[in-house]
Amino acid sequence: MGGREVSATNNGLAPKTRQFQNRSLICALRCACKSGAIRFDEIMFPYVALSKDKAWQPGPYEGVELMILHKHESTGGVVVLRKFKAGHTIPAHTHPDANEWAYVLSGEWEESGITYTSGALFFAPRGIRHGPHVACTEVISLTIFDGPLTVV
């Protein structure tokens, strides 16, 4: 149909291109291993959180639950799964001690008359008033606070 045929064996790349990519990858891996950047005898991630091992707990507002995945002991920052129950509105508020990033994993979140769904990323700088947030459906977000989670 006018398009070129792509072989499953070469992914549509000319043999020299494939050979160059393979050589570049091998060189990069050798360099990383020699420099100590990649160690196959150590754990890759020193901290792993599994949601199946965590529990939901009440959040700062009615209709909000938090699952704390990690808390940084020296900064008080937290990484949480946050659940907004459908139909709940979180009033406008400020986080005086932390920047906030929220990535919507599922659900419909309304902000300033616009409905956002999975894949939306919100950022609220420390001390800046934001909201209200409206949960049109149940919303789950991955939310990061780089300081203590306080709400005013």
Which residues lie across from 82 on neighbouring strands?
A: 66, 141
Cα-to-chain-centroid distance, residue 15 = 38
What distance in Å separates the CA atoms of residue 20 and residue 14, rounded to the nearest whole number? 10
pLDDT at 83 over 70: yes
User: What confidence tens digit (pLDDT) does each residue in 104-150 have?
Assistant: 999 999 999 999 999 999 999 999 999 999 999 999 999 999 999 99
pLDDT-derived band at 35 (thresholds 50, 70, 90) equals: low
Count CA atoms within 13 Å of residue 24 on its CB side: 6
Q: What is the mean pLDDT of the chain?
A: 83
Question: What DSSP state is assigned to residue 42?
Answer: S
pLDDT for residue 30: 61
The residue count of the chain comes to 152
Give the global pTM. Answer: 0.70
What whole-number percentage of the chain has pLDDT above 70? 72
Q: Give me the mean pLDDT over the 54-67 stretch.
A: 96
